[in-house]
Structure 1
Amino acid sequence: MKDEMWMRTWTDGHPHFSEDLHRGIMWLFTPLRHLGQWITQPGASGALTRRKAR
């Protein structure tokens, strides 16, 4: 009986859980994506090679 109640609760709450999980993952990875875009800018690679040359 407890298993059935747990499964019904899981099934009812799963869409909400999935939305929260997706929102949390996007909150974590969005700044990293912007950092990756900044690093791959044309001027950024030149700045890194100049630092290595010094």
Structure 2
Amino acid sequence: MLRTDDSEYLRKSVGNALRDISKKHPDLIRSEVATWDLDQHGVRQVHKLATRLLTTSSAA
């Protein structure tokens, strides 16, 4: 729900928290972000932050 908040600071915080969670639970984060509608800029921003490590680790 917070991924659509008006506050950029809050969205960045959410993305960073999800990225931290993805270190130990990558499948959980993958399944969650797969359901997101990326048409909104704020949601895309959180998605980018949350999946940064997932993208890197899957390419390696």
Same fold (TM > 0.5): no
Q: Which has the higher contact order (CA 8 A, sep 6+)?
A: 2
Q: TM-score, normalised by structure 2?
A: 0.30
Query: TM-score scaled by structure 1?
Result: 0.33
Flag the structure with larger Rg.
1
Larger % of helix: which?
1
